């Protein structure tokens, strides 16, 4: 199994290296960091932003503070909400491409076990999401320093970085469900539909106060997207995320092992 997994990881890494999708997801993270920096710049001096034409004369900004804790909090919320789309896209591509490129049958003909192939995709997806999260953290540190945000301390940096990375890990785990959707749906479109449905439901349920019971809403709640008073989701919320992640991974492996791939 170890040899199969190593071979599968090598093969999947080659596919990833030759694709433009990783660059697109990295660009999305760069854009997210720049947007966050823009909000911090505006919050530093709203009057200056209006004078520079960056903000409409009647525009009002509610919430958020232009300091390091505020920027880290915004980055964590970005990973929780925007990351679900970006990480989900990565998972959908890893599994869905085999059907859109008509390589699924060829993939199953190689001597490497199907479970090893699925596990390799999941591990690469997790590493991919982790690198994207680290990229966002690095950009936050650089852009925050350029903006000379107040409130810096080693403890703030460690706490803020840990929050962003933890949120990224939870979100990456949820992305496994989209790999399952791409496999069962045999392509991109069904999985994209599931992606948008879960994102929409997460926003709606969080808004009405029931997001802790919907795993896809939990990372955003923990990051403070619905306010600090709703950040405590309890053990059930965290357990739900873990169950979705592990259950999706197991179900994906089981589907690839037992599904009829002759069609």
Question: pTM score, two decimals?
Answer: 0.88
Is the pLDDT assigned to residue 52 strictly greater than 60? no
State the average pLDDT over residues 9-32: 90
Residue 85: enclosing H or E segment and its boundaries?
helix 68-100
Please give the average per-residue pLDDT across 195-224, as a whole number. 87
Which pLDDT value is given to residue 262? 57
- Residue 53 has a pLDDT of 56
Percentage of the chain surpassing pLDDT 90? 50
Rounded CA-CA distance 49/147 in Å is 14
pLDDT mean across residues, the chain: 85
**Alpha carbon distance 127, 221 (integer Å):** 24
* 205 vs 244, more confident: 244
What was the pLDDT predicted at 145? 94
Nearest-angstrom CA–CA distance, 263 and 8: 23
In order of 32, 120, 147, 169, 184, the CA distances from 255 in angstroms are 35, 15, 49, 24, 7
Q: What percent of the chain has pLDDT over 70?
A: 84
Its sign, for the CA torsion 140, 141, 142, 146, is positive
Nearest Cα to 75, choosing from 16, 149, 23, 21? 149
Q: Which two tokens stand for residue 252?
A: 């994906």
Residue pair 4/112 in contact by the 8 Å Cβ criterion = yes
CA–CA separation, 127 and 133 (whole Å)? 10
With bands split at pLDDT 50, 70 and 90, how would you rate the model's confidence at 230? low
| pLDDT(110) > 80 | no
Q: Do residues 80 and 165 make contact, with C-beta atoms less than 8 angstroms apart?
A: no
Chain centroid to CA 158: how far? 21
């Amino acid at each position: 199994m170890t040899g199969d997994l190593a071979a599968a990881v090598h093969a999947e890494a080659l596919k990833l290296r030759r694709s433009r999708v990783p660059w697109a997801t990295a660009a999305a993270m760069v854009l997210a960091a720049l947007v966050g920096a823009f909000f911090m710049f505006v919050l530093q001096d709203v009057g200056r932003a209006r004078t520079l034409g960056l903000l409409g004369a009647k525009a009002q900004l509610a919430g958020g503070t232009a300091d390091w804790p505020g920027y880290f909090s915004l980055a964590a919320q970005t990973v929780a909400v925007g990351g679900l789309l970006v990480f989900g896209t990565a998972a959908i591509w890893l599994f869905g491409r085999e059907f859109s490129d008509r390589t699924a049958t060829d993939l199953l003909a190689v001597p490497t076990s199907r479970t090893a192939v699925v596990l390799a995709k999941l591990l690469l997806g997790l590493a991919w999401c982790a690198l994207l999260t680290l990229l966002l953290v690095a950009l936050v540190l650089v852009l925050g320093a350029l903006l000379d945000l107040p409130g810096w301390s080693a403890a703030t940096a460690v706490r803020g970085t840990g929050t962003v990375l933890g949120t990224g890990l939870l979100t990456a785990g949820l992305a496994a469900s989209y790999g399952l959707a791409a496999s069962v749906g045999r392509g991109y479109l069904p999985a994209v539909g599931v992606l948008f449905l879960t994102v929409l439901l997460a926003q709606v349920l969080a808004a009405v106060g029931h997001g802790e019971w919907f795993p896809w809403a939990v990372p955003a709640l923990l990051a403070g997207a619905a306010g600090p008073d709703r950040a405590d989701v309890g053990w059930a919320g965290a357990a739900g995320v873990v169950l979705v992640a592990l259950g999706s991974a197991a179900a994906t492996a089981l589907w690839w092992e037992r599904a009829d791939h002759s069609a």
